[in-house]
Every structure is written in structure tokens, then in C-alpha cells.
Amino acid sequence: MRVSVFGLGYVGAVTSGCFSSFGHSVVGVDPAEAKVALINQGKAPVIEKGLGETISDAVAKGRLRATRDARDAVLATDLSLICVGTPSKRNGDLDTSALKLVCAEIGSALVDKQSRHSVIVRSTVLPGTIRNVIIPELEKASGKKAGVDFGVGSNPEFLREGTALEDFFAPPKTVIGVEDDRTASELEALYGAIKAPLIRTSIEVAEMIKYSDNVWHAVKVAFANEIGVFCKSLSIDSHEVMDVFCKDTKLNLSSYYLKPGFSFGGSCLPKDVRALVHKARSLDLDLPLLGSVLPSNERQTSRGFEMIAQLGKRPVSILGMSFKAGTDDLRESPVLEIVERLIGKGYDVRIFDRNISLSKLVGANKDFLLRMIPHVSSLLVESLDDALSHGEIIVVGNGDAEFRTIGDRVRPDQFVVDLVRIKDHSRLKGNYNGISW
């Protein structure tokens, strides 16, 4: 393919060199004469292992050149990759000035281009940037229509300095956010030599994936550091602790617990977070990440209650009261917290949970329930049908398989507040609200 890369900084230089090594014809574009000159001399404009040799080889074979002329680059290629910087403003927002400038240049060149061209953003941009900044700038400068006269998409990069070429050639995933099949086919062909899962999604999801990745990496660093601070204060080897921690790939280093949903509860997580944070305070340690976990969890419970309350004081049926499906453990169940708030506000509440039987509950579990809701026996119903017939608001409280397919059983006049993401929620349309989707 014929590709132009706008921005010859870290991402753009690596992208230019690596794509040219696949045999693509690449034109790099940058306003800095020094960068353009280095590329054309077969030298890397940034320090990165293996990049100098890659660029030297590509230039020698005539697959890579650089220019300051944006119009020349657009007219000579079929697809443009935008790799310019998006630094922070003083208030933390993204500075999109370089993006706008490049879009104006590309758009102006598109005025004179008869064949179709695609513009793909590899720069890290907040969700909505392509829709609200990139496309309007391109359309204004070109007088053409995105998705009709030219393609637009998102293709976030996942490169780490020091291992960028390895990351480019063997990425964990390749993400393309596009809305038309032609642009998708172009990007699939561009990445054809890379053996990695290629994921096609919406533009906004592609934009958000990069932020989810980077913020998660930041959270992991902060978590490990706070565990380290805690361990050091007790003369515990934090590296040994985390070495053992990382051996667990079933829960610790896995996709488990990484789906948005309702608050955590049960007899372990709240208690153990609370105990560790309390111990840290007693040691005069400031652990802001760990200290924010319970407040964040409690805020999610409040969101669930607010979703119900905004529908007005209608009869409410709760499906599932234990903190997760397949258990009768009610200790610190966030659903139980919502039930208590609803009763306190005068709502007419009924609860169905096949795993909850007052006659079988014992010990701390039963004591916790009766302390929270002394008259709970009058709220329990015996069947899912009873619950569905009572409530004008149906709250799906845990992931029991019985609750996940109620979409065809809900009446048109009923509202569903979903805390777990039931499978058939798309059937419910306007009367459905998920807590994080």
C-alpha cells in the first residue's frame, strides 16, 4: 500500500519504518526540516533499538522518504496515518492544536485529489475527538464528506519506548475503529503481515481502548507501589509478596473482575480492604489508591439506588439479594444496601432469590440480614413470576442464570434497572438502563 505518516516523532518514526519494512511505500511528513533530513539520510530521528537499521534499509530500497509538503504526501498515497503529539494542557485536557493543523493540511490536499483517500488517527485522543474535531476539520478544509468522499478511522498504537519494534511486529492486538467496509479492508491489508488478533470496532470504542489500557497500567503501578510501602513499614519483602501474587493467573493477572458492573460485597473483599487501610493509617501511611477503593465501591451502590429513584416511587421487584449468584451469603451485599434504602424511602419492595431461605440461614449471615431488614420475611416472594408481576421497576441484582434472560418476560410498562448486564437487554429498548452500559 501507499501510506503517508503525519508526524515523525516517536510513534510516527516507528510506524514509518515498520510499515516500510513490510514492503509498503511510506512517505513521512513533518514540519521539522531536521527530522525530514534524517529520514532521507536513512537515519532515525529518535532513539529506539533497531529503528536506525530499519529506516536505513527502507530508504535504501526506495520504500521510505520524508517531506515537509503535506499536499505532496497526500496526493502520492492512498491512506494517511496521523501520529502527531497530543500533549496535556495546564488544566489536564488534551491539546489538539497539532491535530487540527494536520487535518487542515490533509483536507486542503483532498480538494485536488480525485481518488478516494482514508485518514486514520494513531495519536492518542479522547473518545469523541475524531467525531467532533478530526472529521469537522477535514470536511471544512476539503469541502468533502467523511464516510462518502474519504474514509476516517481510529487505529491506536500500543508501543513502549525501548521495545517499540517488538511491540509493533508482535502486538497483543490490533484495533481498528471504522464505520465503512472499504476503510476497514484497507487497514486489514496494511496489517496483513502482523500475526495478532485484529479487532474491528466503533471509532469511539477504539479511542477509549487506549485510555483504558494506559490508565490500567498506571493503576497497576500505583497498586504495586502502595503494597510496597505497606510491606516496607512492616519489614516484609514486597517483591516476594508480588512474585507470589503474580503466579495467580486465574484471578490476579486475568480478565476476572474486569467487567464493569455493580459493587463488590461478601465476607472477604470489604472486610480485608477495610482492615488493610486501617492498619496503614495506624502506621501513619498515606495510601490514596487503596484508601479510595471502598468509597468508590460505595459510590457504585449509590448509583444503583439513584437509577431506581429517578424512575419515581413505583413498586420495585429485586431479583437476587445475595452479593453474587450461586450463594446465600448476604454479608455486605450491596443489593441488600439498596433494599434497605428503598424501604427507608417508602418503596413497595418484593425480593426473589431462590438461594435465600430464612429457615436455612444461620449464624452471622442470618444476623446480618435481620439487622439490616428486620421484616424481610414479608418482602420475599416464592417465584420469579411473582416478582415480575409485582414490580413496575425490575432490578436485576446478581448474575443468576434465571435472571439473565428475562427480556421477553418484561411488560412494556415495566422498567428494568440492570446491575449485571443480562444477555437479552437489547430487546427491552427504551425501558432499560444498565449501571455502566
Mean pLDDT, range 371-376, rounded to an integer: 80
pLDDT in the model for residue 311: 97
Question: Is 271 known as a binding-site position?
Answer: yes
> Structure pTM?
0.90
Is 268 considered catalytic here? yes
Residue bearing the bigger pLDDT, 359 or 126: 126
Question: Is 304 known as a binding-site position?
Answer: no
**Mean pLDDT computed over every residue of the chain:** 95
Mean pLDDT, range 109-128, rounded to an integer: 97
pLDDT in the model for residue 323: 87
- Give the CA angle between residues 15, 83, 153 to the nearest 5°: 95
Do 353 and 323 meet the contact criterion of CB atoms below 8 Å apart? Answer: no
pLDDT in the model for residue 428: 85
Question: Is 67 known as a binding-site position?
Answer: no
Please determine, for residue 28, whether its predicted confidence score (pLDDT) is greater than 90: yes
Percent of the chain with pLDDT over 90: 88
Question: Is 260 known as a binding-site position?
Answer: yes
Please determine, for residue 365, whether its predicted confidence score (pLDDT) is greater than 90: no
Q: How far apart are CA 298 and CA 281, in angstroms?
A: 20
Q: Which domains does the chain have, with CATH numbers?
A: 2-202 (3.40.50.720), 299-434 (3.40.50.720)
Please determine, for residue 189, whether its predicted confidence score (pLDDT) is greater than 80: yes
pLDDT in the model for residue 359: 62
Question: Is 127 known as a binding-site position?
Answer: no
pLDDT in the model for residue 371: 79
Under the banding of pLDDT at 50, 70 and 90, the label for residue 427 is confident
Q: Which of 41-50, 270-279, 334-343, 350-359 has the lowest mean pLDDT?
A: 350-359
Mean pLDDT, range 141-147, rounded to an integer: 97
Catalytic site residue from 18, 83, 103, 268: 268
Sheet hosting strand 150-154, strand order edge to edge: 64-67, 25-29, 2-6, 79-82, 117-121, 150-154, 174-178, 198-201
Mean pLDDT, range 110-139, rounded to an integer: 97
Question: Is 17 known as a binding-site position?
Answer: no
Q: How far apart are CA 69 and CA 168, in angstroms?
A: 27
- Could you identify the residue written with the cell 431479583? 319
